[in-house]
């Protein structure tokens, strides 16, 4: 080292190298392989579920998800028949079970961005009703 500048460069480079080593996290040791599961959202099939001619049914959506090898499905409330009947939802849940699909979530429409009052109360009631359907 001939100059103070060379010395300072060396110290800075060493400090940078040490800091990179110190920031690296040690790998996590796991027992077994990863536990990732794949699900398919009904909304991804909205083009088919809302088709003008021969729309896909939720039952057909479940069949498709099973054929694709999915572990579960997310069912979207938009595609349920109105009025929704308990026997229909039970048949759908059974079909998912028989196909080996978990119903991992149900997406519903709601709007809680309103002041307290009848409008928001109606939204809360609707969400509670859908929680009942989903359980």
Mean predicted confidence (pLDDT) in 27-45: 87
Question: φ and ψ at 4, to 5 degrees?
Answer: -60, -35
Q: Which residues pair with 102 in a beta bridge?
A: 72
Residue 108 Cα distances to 20, 24, 37, 83, angstroms: 46, 42, 22, 15
- Residue 22's pLDDT band (boundaries 50, 70, 90)? low
Are the CB atoms for 123 and 111 separated by under 8 Å? yes
Place of tokens 């499905």: 73
Strand order in the sheet with 102-107: 39-41, 72-76, 102-107
Pairing, β 72-76 against β 102-107:
parallel
How close are the terminal C-alpha atoms of the chain, in Å?
74
CA atoms within 13 A on the CB side of 84: 17
Residues 80-134 pLDDT 10s: 999 989 999 999 999 999 999 999 999 988 998 999 999 999 999 999 998 888 8
The answer to whether the CB of 109 falls within 8 A of the CB of 75 is no
> How many contiguous H segments (helices) and E segments (strands) does the chain have?
5, 3
pLDDT band at 16 (very low <50, low <70, confident <90, very high): low
Q: What's the pLDDT score for residue 50?
A: 95
């Amino acid at each position: 080292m001939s100059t103070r500048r060379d010395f300072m460069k060396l110290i800075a480079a060493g400090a940078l190298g040490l800091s990179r080593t110190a920031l690296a996290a040690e790998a996590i040791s796991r027992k077994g392989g990863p536990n990732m599961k794949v699900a398919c959202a009904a909304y991804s099939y909205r083009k088919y579920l809302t088709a003008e001619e021969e729309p896909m049914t939720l039952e057909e959506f479940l069949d498709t998800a099973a054929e694709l090898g999915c572990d579960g499905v997310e069912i979207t409330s938009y595609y349920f028949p109105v009025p929704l009947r308990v026997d229909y939802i039970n048949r759908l849940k059974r079909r998912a079970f028989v196909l080996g699909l978990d119903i991992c979530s149900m997406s519903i429409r709601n709007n809680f961005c309103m002041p307290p009052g009848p409008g928001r109360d109606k939204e809360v009631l609707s969400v509670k009703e859908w929680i009942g359907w989903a359980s």
